[in-house]
Structure formats: C-alpha cells, structure tokens
Amino acid sequence: MSTIDWKNLSFGYLPTNANVRCYYKDGKWSKPELNNSEYINMHMAATCLHYGQEAFEGLKAYMGKDGKIRLFRVQENAKRMIESARYIQMAPPTEEMFVESVKMAIEANKEFVPPYESGATLYVRPLLIGTSAQVGVKPSADYMFMVFVTPVGPYFKEGFKPVNVIIDRDHDRAAPLGTGHIKVGGNYAASLISLDLCHKQGYSTVLYLDAAEKKYIDECGPANFFAIKGKSYITPKSHSILPSITNMSLMELAKDMGLTVECRKVPVEELSTFVEAGACGTAAVISPIGKIVDPNQNHVYEYSKDGNAGAISTQLYNRLKAIQYGDEADKFGWITIVR
Ligand code: PLP
Ligand code: COI
C-alpha cells in the first residue's frame, strides 16, 4: 500500500480489500461475513431505494505511535444506528454485531489504516438498508447491514484552519419533529441544495437555523456547531440536531478543562458575543470557523482575524486527538483497541 500518498488524501473513496455484510431474514441476523465486491446486488423495489429506509454511521480508526489501531466510542455509533433504525422502522443491528463487524472490516483492511502523524485516518462507514421488494409505503421485511472502510484526509481542505460559513435561511435540512436527530440519508439529500449554493459562493459549509422560527442556531453542515464565550462552551440544543459523538466528547473535555458547558437554544444574535466558533464531528473533527455570513441580514460575524484557530478550540482539538491516537491516557474509557 506504499503507493497511497497519505499526506495528500482528500475525504473521498479509495477501494480496499473487503467489506463486511450481515443479512436480516426471517427475524434473525446472520453472522458478519467478508465480501470482496464493492457492489450490492438488490431488488429494484427495495425499500431503501424508494422510501429511504437507509441509515448510516461514520467513525474513524486511528493508528497510534505504538502501532495499535484504536476506535473512538464505537459503542456510541452502534447505539445511534439502533436509534436511527428504530425510528424509520428498520430491524436494528445488535450492538455486538455492529462492533464485531467494524473490527472485522478494519482487520481485513489493516494496511489501509494511515500511518501515525500522516494526518489521514481510516474512515469506517456502517450502513443499514431495507432490501425487500415493497411498492406500498411499508417497512421492508429484510435488511442488510454492512461496513466498509476507506482511508481519508481532512473533510474541509483547510484542515485545522478556520473555514467560512454561510447561514441559509431559504432551506432546511430537517423538520422540527422530523428526522434530524437520527442519521438517515434523507437528511443529507435535503442538505445538498444548500451545500451546492454555499460552495458556489466560496463557503465551506452552511449554518442552518431552526426550521420553525429561524431564530436559533441548528446544524453546521454535516457537523454540530459550538462556540466559546468567556469560560463557557456553548452548543445548540434542538430535536433536529444529530447528537454528535464528537460534540458529546468535547463537552466532557471542556468540563475537564474547567469550562462551563451550556447545551441550550442559541439565538442567532448571540453569534456576535462569541469569541471562538467551530464545527465538530467525526469527519470535521474540529473545524474552527473564521467567519459566519448572514446574507439576508447583511451581517458578518468574525472569529479569526489572524487566520488561526482560537486558543480554547486548539486545546480541545489537541486533547481530542491525543486521546484518539493514544498519546494521552484514556481516562474516560472511550477507546477500543482493534489490534
Ligand atoms: N451532524 C451531522 C448532520 C452529521 O452528519 C455528523 C456526522 O456524523 C455530525 C453532526 C457529527 O456527529 P459525530 O461527531 O458523531 O460524527
Ligand atoms: C461524519 O462526520 O462521520 C459524517 O458522517 C459526516 C459526513 C461525511 C456525512
């Protein structure tokens, strides 16, 4: 695998050796098995194709200085997929089969885990789909759960440099009582139009507002939003925000660093009071935000004048990465060693 240019990888797809699949039939899951095909052969009337019976997860495997491969809070991803599955009426995987399949997929592709300090990681993508034929709007009887992996570089090309973000008041990714809190494909389909518009205008991602009133901060593209004000770590609370495992961890780290954590509604006007702002998630890690533009209100909120991340975001980023790579003791019990 020496042909991979680890340092210049983008957040894309590269083929690997194998993926892992489990099948749900007659009320039971089969054991995880390896598969060498990058393709899925399925019925044209499968419910995932027509009615969006599809949920996915995203986590990363990290190569430590000690040569060990680590997973970060994989049980939380399993629990979240179970939640997603239940909400859209799919057969949920068990936590054990989820974790076993993730480990198996990494074992089968261990030479694709990027080296320590290359800046790249192995992205792990579990996927659950309804596979049986159905033309009426009804849940599938059969399901497939799979895990594939692919080495990735930073999600935003800026890496840990501030990105610029635009508020989109003309589109919503999820309804107030809809599916924003679970990780299903439809939310991402709904976000493509605003992402396209924001990219065309030169922004890295979109900041959504609450769909009902457009008064409060919601998701930040495929990531959660957080901000720093004084000694507080502030992050929006909303039913349409995906409960980010990264954000959950940053809240714990912030507390550990002596900050107060506020998870609450964040009014748009409050943006002008923040000293630092960022987007956080598995893919984004922490992406500091340089400025947020609100075109409808003709307002720009600036958080980085010198082109660098703020001091607290930098400390949080360094601690999170140190735990993920095994450079700092895992005092929260977040790490699973794969091998
Ligand atoms: N919000 C959305 C919409 C996402 O797609 C993601 C990515 O998974 C996140 C937030 C961050 O969640 P996590 O930190 O669990 O990756
Ligand atoms: C992640 O952060 O893992 C995501 O799923 C975000 C995006 C690539 C959909």
Same domain for 197 and 266?
Answer: yes
Is 183 annotated in the active site?
A: yes
Of ligand 1's listed atoms, the one at least distance from the Cα of 241 is: 1
Measured in Å, residue 6 CA sits from the centre of ligand 1 at: 24
d(CA 23, CA 31): 8
Query: Which residue, among 250, 257, 278, 249, has the nearest Cα to 163 in the 3D structure?
Result: 278
pLDDT tens-place string over residues 157-214? 888 999 999 999 999 999 999 999 999 999 999 999 999 999 999 999 999 999 999 9
d(CA 11, CA 120): 9
282 lines ligand 1 (CB under 6 A): yes
Same domain for 241 and 178?
Answer: yes
243 lines ligand 2 (CB under 6 A): no
Query: Which residue, among 142, 113, 139, 126, has the nearest Cα to 42 in the 3D structure?
Result: 142
Domain's final residue, options 127, 152, 177? 152
Establish if 336 belongs to a structural domain: no
Q: What is the CATH number of the domain that holds 10?
A: 3.30.470.10
The per-residue pLDDT of the chain, averaged, comes to 97
Adjacent-strand bridge partners of 22: 145
pLDDT at position 197 is: 96
Same domain for 140 and 189?
Answer: no
| pLDDT above 70 for 111 | yes
Q: Is the CB of residue 180 less than 8 Å from the CB of residue 241?
A: yes
3-class DSSP state of 298: coil
Same domain for 116 and 244?
Answer: no
Neighbour count for residue 31 (Cβ, 10 Å): 9
Of ligand 2's listed atoms, the one at least distance from the Cα of 222 is: 6
How far, in Å, are 41, 145, 221, 321 from residue 314 at the CA level? Answer: 45, 37, 21, 11
Contacts of 129 (CB under 8 A, 6+ apart): 40, 42, 46, 48, 53, 54, 143, 144
Work out the percent of the chain whose per-residue pLDDT is above 70: 99
Q: Is the CB of residue 226 less than 8 Å from the CB of residue 263?
A: no
Domain's final residue, options 131, 152, 173? 152
* Residue bearing the CA closest to ligand 1, atom 3: 222
**The total number of structural domains that make up the chain:** 2
Same domain for 173 and 317?
Answer: yes
Pocket probe mutation, ligand 1, options 56, 238, 242, max atoms within 8 Å of Cβ = 242
Q: Is the CB of residue 70 less than 8 Å from the CB of residue 78?
A: no
Pocket probe mutation, ligand 2, options 11, 205, 282, 324, max atoms within 8 Å of Cβ = 282
Q: Which residue has 């399925």 as its token pair? A: 42
Establish if 334 belongs to a structural domain: no
pLDDT at position 156 is: 86
Domain's final residue, options 152, 179, 202? 152
Q: What is the CATH number of the domain that holds 297?
A: 3.20.10.10
- Range of 121's domain? 6-152
Of ligand 1's listed atoms, the one at least distance from the Cα of 191 is: 3
Q: Which residue has 């998701």 as its token pair? A: 219
Of ligand 2's listed atoms, the one at least distance from the Cα of 11 is: 8
Establish if 127 belongs to a structural domain: yes
Of ligand 1's listed atoms, the one at least distance from the Cα of 76 is: 15
φ/ψ bin of 56: left (φ > 0), alpha (ψ from -120 to 50), beta (otherwise)? beta
The tally of CA atoms less than 13 A away on the side-chain side of residue 82 is 13
179 lines ligand 2 (CB under 6 A): no
How far, in Å, are 35, 99, 148, 259, 339 from residue 61 at the CA level? Answer: 20, 12, 12, 28, 11
Measured in Å, residue 147 CA sits from the centre of ligand 2 at: 14
Same domain for 245 and 206?
Answer: yes
Measured in Å, residue 281 CA sits from the centre of ligand 2 at: 7
| pLDDT above 60 for 1 | no
Same domain for 273 and 181?
Answer: yes
Establish if 331 belongs to a structural domain: no
Measured in Å, residue 283 CA sits from the centre of ligand 2 at: 5
pLDDT at position 2 is: 63
Measured in Å, residue 51 CA sits from the centre of ligand 1 at: 22
244 lines ligand 1 (CB under 6 A): yes
Same domain for 47 and 119?
Answer: yes
58 lines ligand 2 (CB under 6 A): yes
Establish if 122 belongs to a structural domain: yes
3-class DSSP state of 278: strand
Neighbour count for residue 188 (Cβ, 10 Å): 14
Go through 75-99 and write b for each residue having 16 or more CB atoms within 10 A of its CB, e for each that does not.
bbbbbbbbebbeebebbbbeeebbb
Establish if 36 belongs to a structural domain: yes
Same domain for 132 and 199?
Answer: no
3-class DSSP state of 317: helix
pLDDT at position 158 is: 81
Establish if 169 belongs to a structural domain: yes
pLDDT tens-place string over residues 2-41? 689 999 999 999 999 999 999 999 999 999 999 999 999 9
pLDDT tens-place string over residues 292-308? 999 999 999 999 989 99
Same domain for 25 and 109?
Answer: yes
d(CA 245, CA 236): 14
Neighbour count for residue 243 (Cβ, 10 Å): 14
Same domain for 225 and 312?
Answer: yes
Q: How confident is residue 265, by pLDDT bands cut at 50, 70 and 90?
A: very high
Query: Which residue, among 157, 321, 303, has the nearest Cα to 228 in the 3D structure?
Result: 303
Active-site residue (options: 65, 110, 161, 183) = 183
Establish if 298 belongs to a structural domain: yes
Adjacent-strand bridge partners of 34: 20
Q: Is the CB of residue 216 less than 8 Å from the CB of residue 236?
A: yes
pLDDT tens-place string over residues 237-256? 999 999 999 999 999 999 99
What does the H/E/C string look like for 49-68? HHCCCEEECCEEEEECCCCC
Q: Which ligand has its closest atom nearest to the C-alpha of 223?
A: 1
pLDDT tens-place string over residues 276-292? 999 999 999 999 999 99
Measured in Å, residue 59 CA sits from the centre of ligand 2 at: 8
3-class DSSP state of 27: coil
pLDDT at position 159 is: 82
221 lines ligand 2 (CB under 6 A): no
Same domain for 19 and 115?
Answer: yes
